[in-house]
Structure 1
Amino acid sequence: MIAWKQHLHRLIALGQAHPGIVAIFGFVSGVASFLLVDRQAELARVLGLVMLVSWLWLILENVLREQIARWFGVQLPPPLLRYATQMIHQESLFFILPFFFITTTWNSGQLLFSGLLAAAALVSIIDPLYYKWLAPRRWLFLAYHTLALFAVLLTALPIIFKLTTPQSYQLALAAAVLLSFPSLMSTITVQRWWRGLLLVGLSVVIGAGGWLARVWVPPATLWLTEVAVTTEFDDSNRAPGESLKQLSLTQLRNQGLYAYTAINAPRGLNERIYHVWRHNGEEVERIALDIHGGRKKGYRAWTHKQNFPEQASGRWQIQVLTEAGQMIGVLRFQVTE
């Protein structure tokens, strides 16, 4: 036991002397996890489960530390717990960042959420920010913890349990609201009878705000691998013709238009998506499509639109959305007179 403690203290001292090692390990393992998950869905289940167990440790840290001291007579040193917490944050954030970066539509409101996650990951590897600015502010640290857990669940739930994107979002949001209670309780110090009502009211506001903000949150496990807007389509090979950025009104009337999207999804996932056709910013038609995960190059789905408004010239968009309204991507083209 004494030898084990000595090795533990040496490990902690090494981490203190070279803090960049933890950050580099978190970044490399996160990127490696994404690359391996892209090739083998079974590994994603293991990695996602490890992340969730790690978060359970953080939530029950004090209770588990007391139980370990009681059962094994070992008092875990505070530096070890601090570094373990930081490393879990780094592992979690750098694990999910590649997923969110590849699924973000950068010229939309999703830029805000993915940018926030990138900032959180940056804070986790800068010790002065993490230990001197974030950790001492209990309410801010809990909010940081909740944000990371929310993003981890959005990524892990579809991979582990084959939940659809709306189901994953609802469960992740419910967990985030529950975890916001400790942060709210430490912030609201009023000891009056309406404190409980205020806590419940703020939790409802957080939940409602999180649900309304879902259009700004990328669907972490769904992304476009191939897109095309074309007047020709090979049904037998499920292959689109040449993708167009601009076409004439005559072409549109005579041939109609295909919107082709290949969407990467976790193996075994069944998801309903929508092709939402918009003309000059206004929705014209919403077409539902069911996709199935597992194909390496993405599940191929397309819609063929032939009925266009009388005044069809102008800017067109085809938004690819989940049932929850999260944007997977956008196809754009122009129709000229």
Structure 2
Amino acid sequence: MISPINLMHKTIAFMQRWPGLMAVLAFAGGVASYILVERKESLAQLIAVFLLLSWLWLLLDNWLRERIEQRFGIVLSPILVRFALQTVHQESLFFALPFFLAVTSWHHGQAAFTILIIFCALVSVVDPLYYKKLAPHRTLFVVFHAFALFVVLLIVLPVLMQLTTSQSMAAALGIAVLLSLPSLGAIMPGGRWWRVPFLLCLLTILSAGLWQLRSWVPPAAMRLNAITLSHEMDYEQRKPGDSISQVNSYDLQQQGLYSFTAVTVPRGLNEQIFHVWLHNGKEVDRIKLNITGVSSSGYRAWSHKLNFPANAEGKWQVEVVTESEQLIGLARFTVTVAAPAPQLQADF
């Protein structure tokens, strides 16, 4: 009979021969969970629970290894621990990737965040990069570790705890930074009175900097199904009229514009979003809307703007953002000069 330790070592050897297998499985799990989240299937929640448990095991690694050795006399090799750490990173990054690919606005700074996830996911798969370039550099490895945790928390918190996108963003940032504190402590020299205050200041500055860049983080739990700008709205059918991309200033002043959006969020989740109207890059209005999680068709909501400036000509856009300024999507339109009214000529 094969002992558990031998079985684990054989499993590690197999995975090392096929390093991309775990990444493929994690990515497939992310795609499946992304689809199932919209239908509130329990499998999506189970996947999220599994990821959180794997991170909990990782954080309690030293304590668990000591308890296992004391109780069962089994010594877990550093190779096993190192492999487990790499596996958790792969699971987290590849699991989260489908969520971010589906909601990223590629013409926005969000593209940089999603590309960073792709890069980190590839690093976690390529052993020469992970073990020879990343792992030996303690500071860089801690940042990589915290980033992977931050990314996966952005996915699982809305699903498991029904936190809004803004709440999930703040909680994920706080948890990732706080759980990195023990690892950061190993970087600092010991026995100095200023060590703890310095670390606290460092974490505060890091958190503040990341929060300022929060608009670059795609709202992974939300998806914009549709956005339409129109002069008309069918209130009974909850459908907009014909979409427009250009309007003259006279029609704009007389009729105004409806901004219609259909946003998908997990069932049971209540969100607050904003329609932000910008004229030539400057914000001129912000309209608050409340949405709730429904089926894949999305929660349909709209705002009707009638108050436009007298000199409304130029480039306009309507951004759909969360409370934490994370961009969900946008639409653009152009306002042209109104055609002069025809003059009547009298006959004498």
Aligned positions of 1:1-337 closer than 5 A: 2-189=2-189, 191-337=191-337
| Aligned mates of 1:13, 1:166 — CA distance in 2 | 42
Is the contact made by 2:158 and 2:266 (CA closer than 8 Å) also made in structure 1? yes
Native 8 Å contact 2:257 2:306 kept in 1: yes
Counterparts of 1:5 and 1:56, CA distance in 2: 21
SS in 2 for 1:105: coil
Change in 2 beyond 3 A, CA 1:217/1:108: same
Q: Find the aligned partners of 2:161 and 2:22 in 1 and give their Cα distance.
A: 30
Q: Percent identity?
A: 50
**Aligned 8 A contact 1:100 1:218 in 2:** yes
Q: TM-score, normalised by structure 1?
A: 0.95
Between 1:80-89 and 1:254-263, the stretch displaced more is 80-89
Contact 2:142–2:184, Cα closer than 8 Å, also in 1? no
Equivalent position amino acid for 2:54 in 1: S
Amino acid at match of 1:136: P
Distance of 1:327 and 1:18 partners within structure 2: 38
Distance in 2 (CA, whole Å) between partners of 1:36 and 1:218 is: 20
- SS across alignment from 1:290: strand
Q: Distance in 1 between matches of 2:145 and 2:12?
A: 23
**Structure 1 pair 292/142, CA: closer, same or farther in 2 (3 Å)?**
same
Which consecutive residues of structure 1, in runs of 5 or more, have no partner in the other structure? none
Partner amino acid for 1:265?
A: V
Distance 2:50 2:22 in 1: 18
Higher Rg of the two aligned structures: 2
Whole-angstrom distance in 1 between the partners of 2:76 and 2:198: 37
Deviation for aligned residue 1:190: 6.5
Residue 118 of structure 1, CA deviation: 1.2
Worse overlay, 182-191 or 228-237? 182-191
Q: Deviations over 1:28-63 (max 9, x none)?
A: 333233233344343322221111111111111111
Report the Cα distance in structure 1 between the residues aligned to 2:23 and 2:17, rounded to whole angstroms.
Answer: 13
Gaps of 5+ in 2: 338-348
Amino acid across the alignment from 1:98: P
Residue 293 of structure 1: how far off its partner (Å): 0.6
In structure 2, do the counterparts of structure 1 residues 3 and 176 end up closer, same or farther at CA, with 3 Å as the change threshold? closer
| Aligned amino acid, residue 211 of structure 1 | W
AA aligned to 1:173 is L
User: How many angstroms apart in 2 are the aligned matches of 1:74 and 1:2?
Assistant: 15
What amino acid is the match of 1:273? Answer: I
Per the TM alignment, residue 6 of structure 1 is displaced from its structure 2 partner at its CA by 3.1
Structure 1 segments, 4+ long, off by >6 Å, are: none
The answer on whether the counterparts of 1:229 and 1:259 sit within 8 Å (CA) in structure 2 is yes
Q: Kindly state the Cα deviation for residue 71 of structure 1 after the two structures are TM-superposed.
A: 2.0
d(CA) in 2 for partners of 1:70, 1:146: 30
Give the TM-score normalised by the residue count of structure 2. 0.92
Alpha-carbon contact 1:41-1:266 (below 8 Å) kept: no
For residues 222-252 of structure 1, the C-alpha deviation after alignment (integer angstroms, 9 at most, x for no partner) is: 1101110111111100011121111222221
Q: Which stretch of structure 1 is more off in the superposition, 18-27 or 228-237?
A: 18-27
Q: Distance in 1 between matches of 2:39 and 2:267?
A: 10
Cα pair distance change 1:41/1:278, threshold 3 Å = farther
Indicate conservation of the 8 Å contact 2:249/2:312, yes or no: yes
What is the CA-CA distance between 1:185 and the residue it aligns to?
2.1
The 8 Å contact of residues 149 and 176 in structure 2, kept in 1 or not, is answered as yes
Q: Is the 8 A contact 1:180 1:203 kept in 2?
A: no
SS in structure 1 opposite 2:130? helix
Shift of residue 210 of structure 1?
A: 1.9
Partner secondary structure for residue 258 of structure 2: strand
CA RMSD between the two structures: 1.7
Q: Given residue 71 of structure 1, which amino acid in structure 2 is its aligned partner? A: R
Give the Å deviation of 1:93.
0.8
SS at match of 1:315: strand
Question: Does the 8 A contact of 2:158 with 2:164 survive in 1?
Answer: yes
User: In 1, distance between residues paired with 2:183 and 2:66?
Assistant: 22
Task: Give 3-state SS (helix, strand or coil) of 1:218's partner.
Answer: coil
How far the C-alpha of 1:276 sits from its partner, in A, is 0.8
Contact 2:31 2:99 in 1 (8 A): no
CA distance in 2 between counterparts of 1:246 and 1:65 reads 65
Residues 34 and 95 in structure 1, CA contact (< 8 A), matched pair in contact too? no
CA distance, structure 2, for counterparts of residue 10 and residue 197 of structure 1: 46
Partner Cα separation in structure 1 for residue 25 and residue 46 of structure 2: 18
Q: Distance in 2 between matches of 1:334 and 1:73?
A: 73
